[in-house]
Amino acid sequence: MEPAGGASGSRRLLRRLRDLMASGGTAQERLDRIVTLIAGEMVAEVCSCYIRRAGEMLELFATEGLRPEAVHRTRLRVGEGLVGDIAAHARPLALAAAQTHPQFAYRPETGEEVYSSLMGVPILRGGHVHGVLVVQNRTRRTYAEEEIETLQTVAMVLAELVASGDLVNPVELASTEVNGPLPTRFEGARLVPGLAMGQAVLHEPRVVIRRIVAEDPAAELERLREGLARMQSAVDALLAAEDVVSGGEHKEILETYRMFAEDRGWIQRIREAIRGGLTAEAAVQKVQDDTRARMHAITDPYLRERLLDLQDLTNRLLQHLAGEVTARREMPEHAILIARTMGPAELLDYDRTRLRGLVLEEGSQTAHVTIVARALDIPVVGGAEDIVARVEPGDLVLVDGMNGQVLLRPGEDVQQRFRENIRLRAEQRAAYAAIRDLPAETRDGIRVSLQLNAGLLIDLPQLDHTGAEGVGLYRTEIPFMVRASFPDVAAQTGIYRGVLYQAGDRPVTFRTLDVGGDKRLPYLPPVQDENPALGWRAIRMALDRPAMLAQQLRALVTAADGRLLRVMFPMVSEVAELVAARAILDRQRERMAAQGILPARVEVGVMMEVPSLFFQLDALLPRIDFLSVGSNDLMQFLFACDRGNPRLAGRYDVLSPPALNFLRRLVAASDAAGVPLAVCGEMAARPIEAMALVALGVRVLSMPAAAIGPVKTMVRSLDTRALSAYLDRHAASPDHSLRNQLRAFAQDHGVIVE
């Protein structure tokens, strides 16, 4: 007998499998007959089915070929042996010489030592591994790709029996952590700031597939064509909503999503699964399971976002095929959406008038759904590990997007404090709005310019909302990181022109690409740096790829035609790097001037992040128009202390004497040279640190929008003369930090730093 490969063999096996699934007998009896059928059809001496039990254990439930007494006796932990490895990684494995593999685990009761080759696939349903299906052969056999595909299709059908609850009681697999409705705190990442309180809504769009095996593949292909057409029309309508059509990166992301809905490779994989004998719904589900399995092995953030888009589209297509499409999902009046991951358009399915917050098990600042949520002003916390498994629909959830915390089922006292925090935040926002148009001026008449840190077009409206005097740091790399390819000069010019247009007459400081290290561009080959923070990044990468830097600078010059252009180079560690970068800028200015395009004025600055540059200030300051301190990197390099390492979190303090003395001398040198100095790292965004900076002589602070109100309130309550004298007296202090002393000073002198 020929192995079941190709469309006709797969369809024959599926038909016979369908008949067995519908036959009489217990679930165990049907499973026994199924493994015998698969072994015969796949021309294998062994077919075994392992089912997941409680405690991350895989138990041999049925076999054709291994010793019968091994059934229900042989167990492997998830991750143990080849079977455990398949379950742990949710991906197929095909080996011609299985026993030589380092993961092979020998179980003497099975008698499998006589079998050489092995092919196994996970039994997947709803993205979860329910077991493993394995075939084995005595001789060395290289399994064809078609055979792996066939076994995956069989495993998908088998998943219905395994997940039915007739073999293993589902209660057994329920996490013991879910049993009690206890209050639980989740620590996560701050993705979109804000506070929200509401009832949990689980985002798990699932369609029950009632038919798996196709009677007529041609009819199923036609159903797929019709379903795709309906889905694509619905996506067009969804993205035409009034709060989506406004410009910005979120619009660009959703337009890319629209094009992804027509991806030929994705559609072709579904068609191939239908030709193999599956219904349209089952074929779509199979492709989705394959996608989820691939996500386990992918760490590249851009590729993961593309796969999330694909999962979103797959869910939509399933709903259209099954006729289960709803315009908007029902929600309580105050809803907190809980999800493992989300595609960017899935958020738009929910009623934004009721959606108060979003909690994700995954997610990042540049995740597509985060950018869309930021555009809609929805607080988001990411990295809330295991929250989907531990939340029940309707549970009360508190979302603290300011601190990256989620509280599940909080007690009444916690609820009351949170309501009070929401009330106080509303009052604070009203107070900040009241001083929005007032200057950031100290009680002794010192003016401080408060500016905005931004990285997306959707951040720019905050200039008006906060009263910021300009954009002190525009991170140009973020639009590059959400694209599939490096944007050409025209595309970049459009981005920068949009930024300048929205800023109006307020200055914008563009930082050139700060990528590399842990900020990868998906279209550049990965670089393995042993220490990414100290590796090939920022100006180092730009000077090694001068064409890339030249294109960006040409786009900036073109966008600023007739206007002020402020360009800042990141991570400059010696003046020679600035000289080389400025030469590229000058060439681009000359090139565009020949075409009649000329900024009204060009100002050039550098980021003071690498301490070595401090020792070249005499050569640096005459060559620049402004200097900006990136306090995050500067402090970790100054103290040789990885700021991302939790063990070192308290090892140094930016308010320590060495840090403040370094900044004091930097300010003095800049003032003497007549070069304006700004601080745009986290130091500028916290009132107590900003208070110290102003006392040291810093007159420009750039920060996230949410920090401008608190920092302006601090500035307007501060007398700089008293604090400057206080810091002078403590300059030689041997203390680890002056933080407590500065808090005491603020309290004694009525400076508002909370």
The pair of structure tokens assigned to 359 is 């909690």
Do 132 and 121 form a contact (C-beta atoms < 8 A)?
Answer: yes
How would you write 595-658 as a 3-class SS string?
CCCCECEEEEEEEECCHHHHHHHHHHHHHCCEEEECHHHHHHHHCCCCCCCHHHCCCCCCCCHH
Q: How far apart are CA 382 and CA 406, in angstroms?
A: 10
- Is 521 in contact with 480 (CB distance < 8 Å)? yes
Contact by Cβ (8 Å): 342, 205: no
- Buried b / exposed e over 426-453, threshold 16 CB at 10 Å, is eeeeeebeeeeeeebebbeebebbbbbb
Report the sign of the C-alpha dihedral through residues 263, 266, 269, 270, in that order: negative
Of the residues 128, 680, 730, 736, only one is catalytic, namely: 680
Which residue shows structure tokens 């108060």? 356
368: annotated active-site residue: yes
Helix/strand/coil for 284: helix
Residue 91, number of CB atoms within 10 A of its CB: 16
Q: Are 477 and 571 in contact (CB under 8 A)?
A: no
In sequence order, what are the beta bridge partners of 605?
568, 626
The yes-or-no answer on residue 89 being catalytic is no
Which tokens belong to 718?
Answer: 């501060």
Cα-Cα end-to-end distance for the chain: 78
Q: Which of 72, 101, 368, 736 is the catalytic position?
A: 368
Token match 């000069």: residue? 489
The Cα–Cα gap between 133 and 135 comes to: 7
Strand, coil or helix: 478: helix
344: Cβ contacts below 8 Å, ≥ 6 apart: 250, 253, 254, 257, 309, 312, 368, 369, 371, 372
Return left, alpha or beta for 10; rule: phi > 0 is left, psi -120 to 50 is alpha, else beta: alpha
- Phi, psi of 21, deg, nearest 5: -60, -35
Burial (Cβ within 10 Å: 0-12, 13-18, ≥19) of residue 733 = middle
**C-beta of residue 121 within 8 angstroms of C-beta of residue 155:** yes
Helix intervals (H) in 538-574: 538-544, 546-559
Cα–Cα distance measured from residue 46 to residue 29, given in angstroms and rounded to the nearest whole number: 17
CA angle 702-568-554, nearest 5°? 130
Distance of CA 189 to the CA centre of its chain: 10
Query: Cβ distance 356 to 196 under 8 Å?
Result: yes
| Catalytic machinery residues | 368, 680
